[in-house]
Amino acid sequence: MDQRRSRIVKAPDERHDEIVAAARLMFSRQGVRGTTFQHIADEVGVTRGLVYHYAGSMDQLVTQVLDACVADFADELRSWDAARTPGDIDGAVRTYVDLFRRNLPHRIDGEAHTARPLPRFDDAGLYVRYLDQSVDALLDVLEATTIPAYAARHTIEIHHVRATFAMLLHGIVGVMRTTPDIGDDVLADLVRQTLRLASPPSRGPDRDQPLEGE
């Protein structure tokens, strides 16, 4: 470790964020189980004791990293909602499927393709925690943005809206895990069918040919 880096005095919030970011990076490189406080301390350039001081425990640090990852996922969904074209249901569904696929690894120990590092979930319990927290956060965003915007232009054809979205999001993850080569077009169809969305103008309500990946 570079001792000169450890002598740099930073504000508590800045140092805390630096430690959480380093933990997130190390978790993405070598998994949560394979990371120790010493690894994180070496990455930041501080003593292990300072990491303990700011993190409290490894469980607390893992929770903070998961919270940061979920917050990033929710922020990306807000950006998606702000960028989508009102009335373009087909385009919104396609880009949503892409966003969802990028932020959720297909396997417990798999890699995602997020803008910022996502931990390698080498523990099934951590994977489930991330998934459940992500779904709850996404539902909160959808209820505040996309769902009322859709309702202003179309009739919502489903009951129990939040529960249906929760079932859909968990279901997409399950399908991607059991059928990792499934096409985005199939996933988009599943979204439309489950939510009973208006059909895109370029295609009829029925199709004779199966989509690639079915």
Any idea which residue has 């009973």 for tokens?
196
Q: Tens digit of pLDDT for each residue in 30-78? A: 999 999 999 999 999 999 999 999 999 999 999 999 999 999 999 999 9
- Whether the per-residue pLDDT at 12 is higher than 90: the answer is no
Give tens-digit pLDDT for 103-129: 887 555 556 667 788 888 888 899 899
Q: Does 210 score more than 80 pLDDT?
A: no
